[in-house]
Structure 1
Amino acid sequence: MSADPVLGLALRDKGGPAQPLLTVTGLRKHFALPGGFFRRNAAKVRAVDGVSFTVAKGETLGVVGESGCGKSTTARLVARLIEPDAGELVFDGEAVGAQTGLALKDYRRSLQMVFQDSYASLNPRMPVAEAVAYGPQVHGMPARAARQRAYDLLARVGLAPEVFAQRYPHELSGGQRQRVNIARARPAPACRAPAARRPRPRPPACAGSARRRSPGRPSASCGESLSVQGRSGR
């Protein structure tokens, strides 16, 4: 895996190519339904119940299922945006959040969500190049280098910097905004319906953008469309 001065943790190959980058075992999350005041045993929704999978280094994993089956909850659990009731996450050989494992702060530098609502995910007052450059600058990259990196990433996802760099989110289509979000994502993006905001004739374009943004790096994508998820490696 290639070197990056800001994202060095995420790009450091600790266990060799044979070791999975992400291993999820027995992931579980149940939500209690609101009940009456005297209800002792509240009903539960089993949003995620015993999910296990691995993502190899350089692999794109697609998760397909009907609406409401738990795909988004699984993605949020993997990103540790919500805490699981049970289960284990192992990132490149290290348990995530364990006392002797990988700290959540370091893990979150290595994996980022790409949400379905592309507009709500971007700052409406920030040009797209500035949005892509913001994360690396926060982590210590010089402003000029971060800006050049943002231009390179925009070009990689099919947005010519000379055309799109200074545009604001409201000046882009839904698919173009989602490409900005993919460009901004860390080396291992977890996407929730990445092509959902694309116009119907070309839904797979955003899915391809994730591969172009970081060729050879892993990603996981959730959605209902077989035509989009069929482009995943697995």
Structure 2
Amino acid sequence: MKKEKYSITILLFAGIREKIKKDNLFWTVSRGDTLNDVIDRLTIAFNVSRTLFESYMYAVNGEYVDLNHLLIDGDEIAVIPPVSGGSFGYSDNDFIRIRITEEKIDEQELIRFVKSEEDGAVVTFSGVTRSINKGKEVRKLEYQAHGPMAERKMCEILVEVRLKWDISRCFVVHRVGTVLVGETSMVLCLASKHRSEAFLAAQYFVERLKTIVPIWKKEFYLDGEEWIGETPE
């Protein structure tokens, strides 16, 4: 008896996208197949080391899963290389605002949103493209993101932040596309009654962003280029 067939979509990003030379794959799998089975097929189809794929994380329909995850019809699999620690959309409410954009960031817009008479501290963190990294002269950066999932994960971190510390409002904007030397790639703005809480919350957010948010950074040097956080073969 033939197994039932399911249609799935595989989204590729950063270095693995360049290696395979495709943005998306539209595949058919059998009922009972797992994410592990898909990885086996990827290694064979594109002659890519299994070890490389095992260093990645995977999300199905916007949620991180392990390799034993059972696939169903219509699943969307995102292959998540190690993130860089980047207009897709916009999420906001009265307390949390998130944006991923190709436009330059207006820091004053963020401050206006979070600032209030009830708070005694506004802490802002700006990530800026530096001219030298690892002894190499940097010409520019290029950011790429899984937009909807990146927004959702940043929102999750900001919710964690507000549960851990007394933070009234938060606003984060991250750029995608080309960011030149001296330009700002990300701004985080937090308001709190006390500066110590705001500083701790800002540090926590930035460290968590580097770990779980699917945004990647490519550095362009005078003599080459490199995806930061991953080393494709």
TM-score range, shorter chain: under 0.3
TM-score (norm 1): 0.23
Q: TM-score, normalised by structure 2?
A: 0.23
| Greater strand content | 2
Task: Indicate the structure (1 or 2) with the bigger Cα radius of gyration.
Answer: 2
